[in-house]
Structure 1
Amino acid sequence: MIDFVFPLFGRFHPILVHLPIGILLFGVVLVFLSKKRETAHLQSIRLAFLLGGLAGLLSSISGFLQYQYEGFAWDSVQFHFILGLTTTAASFWLYYELRKNAAFPDHFRLKSSALVVLLMFTGHLGGNITHGETYLIEPLPTGIQELLGYSNEEAKGLVLPVQGWEELAYFEQVVQPILNQNCKSCHNPRNKKGDLDLSSYETLLTGGEDGSILTGGNSEASALFSRLILPKDDEDHMPPKEKRQLQKEEIELIKAWIDLGGKTDSKLGDADIHAELLEPFFEKVEIPFYPNVSVAPLSEEQLKELKANGFFAELVEKESSWLMVSCVNFPQFSESDWAKLKIASQQIAFLDLSGTQVTDQILDSIQTLPNLTVLKLNQTAISGEKLGELQSISNLKNLYLNQTQVTLEQLRPLQNHPSLSKVFVFDSPASSEESNASFSFVLEKGNYQLPPLPTDTIVY
Structure 2
Amino acid sequence: MICSLEVSQAGWGLFIGRFHPLLVHLPIGMLMVAFILEILSKNRRLAVLGAAVLPVLIFGALSAIAACVAGWLLSASGGYDEKALDLHMWMGIGVAVISVLLCVLRKYSLLKKAWLPVSALMIVLLSAAGHYGGSLTHGDDYLTAAMPIGKKKVAATAFAGKPEDMKVYEHLVQPILEQKCYGCHNEQKLKGGLRLDGMKHIEAGGENGPVVKDSLPEMSELYKRLVLSEDDDKRMPPKGKPQLNPQQLEIIYWWIAEGASATATVKELHKSPRIQLVLESLQPSHGGESNPFIPEEETSPPSAQAVQALEAIGVKVMPVAAQSGYVMINAINATQFGDKEAELLLPLKSQIAWLKLSNTQISDTALKAIAQLPRLTRLQLENTRVSDGGMQTLAGSKTLMYLNLVGTKVTAKGVQALQKNKTLRELYLYKSAVTPAEALALQKSMPHARIDTGGYHLPVLATDTMVYRKIKS
TM-score of the two chains, using structure 2 as the length reference: 0.53
The question of 1:87 aligning with 2:95 is answered yes
> C-alpha deviations, 1:239-290, integer Å up to 9, x for none?
2344432232322232233233334365543334342232222252363699
Summarize deviations over 1:418-445 as a string: whole Å, max 9, x none: xx9679xxxxxxxxxxx843344369xx
Whether the 8 Å contact between 1:83 and 1:118 is mirrored in structure 2 is: yes
Measure the CA separation in 2 of the matches of 1:193 and 1:120.
25
CA contact (8 A) 1:157 1:178 kept: no
| Residues 145 and 151, structure 2, Cα contact 8 Å, conserved in 1 | no
Match of 2:227, as an amino acid?
I
d(CA) in 2 for partners of 1:58, 1:244: 29
Does 1:273 pair with 2:272?
yes
Report how far residue 74 of structure 1 moved.
2.6
1:16-46 residue CA offsets vs partner (Å, 9 max, x unmatched): 1122122212321331132399996666433
8 Å contact kept, 1:227–1:238: yes
CA distance in 2, matches of 1:161, 1:33: 55
Counterparts of 2:180 and 2:120 in 1: how far apart (Å)?
A: 38
For 1:253 and 1:14, the matched residues in 2 are separated by 33
For residues 289 and 259 of structure 1, what CA distance do their matches in structure 2 show?
30
The alignment-based identity, stated in percent, is 28
Q: Indicate which of 20, 29, 33 corresponds to 1:26.
A: 33
CA distance in structure 1 between the aligned counterparts of 2:220 and 2:157, rounded to whole angstroms: 22
d(CA) in 1 for partners of 2:88 and 2:51? Answer: 30
AA in 1 matched with 2:277:
E
Structure 1 residues 172, 247: CA separation in 2 closer, same or farther (over 3 Å shift)? same
Which segments of 5 or more consecutive residues in structure 1 lack a partner in the other structure?
291-397, 399-419, 424-434, 444-460
Contact 1:72 1:194 (8 Å CA) reproduced: no
Any idea what SS the aligned residue of 1:106 has?
helix
CA gap of 1:160–1:150, structure 2 versus 1, over 3 A, is closer
The CA RMSD measured in Å over matched residues stands at 3.8
Instruction: Report the alpha carbon displacement of residue 187 of structure 1 after superposing the two structures with TM.
Output: 2.4
Secondary structure of residue in 2 paired with 1:69: coil
Q: 2:14 aligns with which of 1, 7, 21?
A: 7
SS in 1 for 2:445: coil
Residue matched to 1:230: 228
Distance in 1 of aligned mates of 2:291 and 2:182: 37
Whole-Å separation in 2 of the counterparts to 1:288 and 1:202: 37
What whole-Å deviation, never above 9, does each CA across 1:330-360 have from its counterpart, x for those lacking one?
xxxxxxxxxxxxxxxxxxxxxxxxxxxxxxx
Report the CA distance shift for 1:272/1:92 in structure 2 as closer, same or farther (over 3 A). Answer: same
The residue number in structure 2 matching 1:201 is 199
| Correspondences of 1:213-228 after superposition (within 5 Å) | 213-228=211-226
Indicate whether 1:108 and 2:115 are aligned.
Answer: yes
Q: CA deviation at 1:70?
A: 6.2
**Distance in 2 between the 1:288 and 1:255 partners?**
29
- Secondary structure in 2 aligned to 1:271? coil
Partner of 2:285: 284
Distance 1:271 1:282 in 2: 19
> Relative to structure 1, is the Cα distance of residues 194 and 77 closer, same or farther in structure 2, using a 3 angstrom cutoff?
farther
After superposition, what is the alpha-carbon deviation per residue over 1:185-235, rounded to whole angstroms, capped at 9, x for unaligned? Answer: 432334434332212211111222333212223222211111111123333
Name which one, 1 or 2, has greater alpha-carbon Rg. Answer: 1
Check whether the contact 2:139–2:186 (CA below 8 A) recurs between aligned residues: no
CA distance in 2, matches of 1:117, 1:133: 19
How high is the TM-score relative to the length of structure 1? 0.55
Aligned 8 A contact 2:216 2:257 in 1: yes
Partner of 2:151: 150
Please state how far the C-alpha of 1:62 moved relative to its aligned partner.
Answer: 0.8
Contact 2:105–2:115 at 8 Å: present in 1 too? no
Structure 1 residue 126 displacement after superposition: 2.5
CA contact (8 A) 1:84 1:122 kept: yes
Contact 1:162 1:282 in 2 (8 A): no
For these two proteins, the number of residue pairs brought into alignment is 296
CA deviation map 1:126-148 (0-9, x unaligned): 233334455555665x2xxx3xx
Over residues 356-403 of structure 1, what are the superposed CA-to-partner deviations in whole Å (9 max), with x where a residue is unaligned? xxxxxxxxxxxxxxxxxxxxxxxxxxxxxxxxxxxxxxxxxx9xxxxx
Instruction: Please state how far the C-alpha of 1:85 moved relative to its aligned partner.
Output: 1.2
Measured after TM superposition, the shift of residue 96 of structure 1 is: 2.7
The reply on whether 1:35 has 2:23 as its aligned counterpart is no
Q: Which amino acid aligns with 1:110?
A: P
